[in-house]
Amino acid sequence: MKRLSLILAAAALLPAGNAMAALAVGAKAPDFTTRGALAGKTFTLTLAHQLKRGPVVLYFFPKAFTPGCSAEAREFAENIDKFKAAGATVIGMSADPVDDLVSFSTKECAGKFPVASAGPGIISGYDVALKMRPGMTDRTSYVIAPSGRIAFVHSEMNYANHVKATLDAVESMKAK
């Protein structure tokens, strides 16, 4: 655990911005089906199905129950009504097993939005592999338009700006 904390702390010092994300604005978001959890209950999550409801904020985080990932999940949960008012669905994704995410969905996400397991195909498709720690994802947030195209990308290991940046993006989409 101490080693993981050191790795995540070092990663937080990486440059901010979109340098880590490979999918550019306008690119087609890879569709996927995976297992997820919402309020402690597991279910099958398909991106295409979620996009039928409106834009999707798909945010990748390194590991459930680490300080930054827990803080980010709580901040998304605190702002979920604003995302819903903008017509957006929030989905957290990590390489954690679904069993870990069941608990995380209740404790840190407050049962307000789903978290899902990103397997190797999803991690590769969204180019979110944490280079310093195989088997984990970096911290990248995508806003995906209902058309399935990437509308906004924010990739930064520090969680602090992800919620505000993605909320601003979905609110600006609604204003158009």
* pLDDT under 70: residue ranges of the chain: 1-21
Q: Residue 8: what pLDDT? A: 33
Q: Which two tokens stand for residue 135?
A: 């088997």
Q: Residue 1: what pLDDT? A: 39
For the chain, domain boundaries = 2-175
Q: What's the whole-model pTM score?
A: 0.87
pLDDT in tens, 81-106: 999 999 999 999 999 999 999 999 99
Q: Tell me yes or no: is domain 2-175 CATH 3.40.30.10.
A: yes
Q: Residue 175: what pLDDT? A: 74
**Could you say which of 69, 102, 115, 129 is catalytic?**
69
Q: Does the active-site annotation cover 109?
A: no
User: In the predicted model, what is the mean pLDDT of the chain?
Assistant: 88
Q: Residue 5: what pLDDT? A: 36
Cβ-Cβ contacts under 8 Å for 121 (sequence gap 6 or more): 32
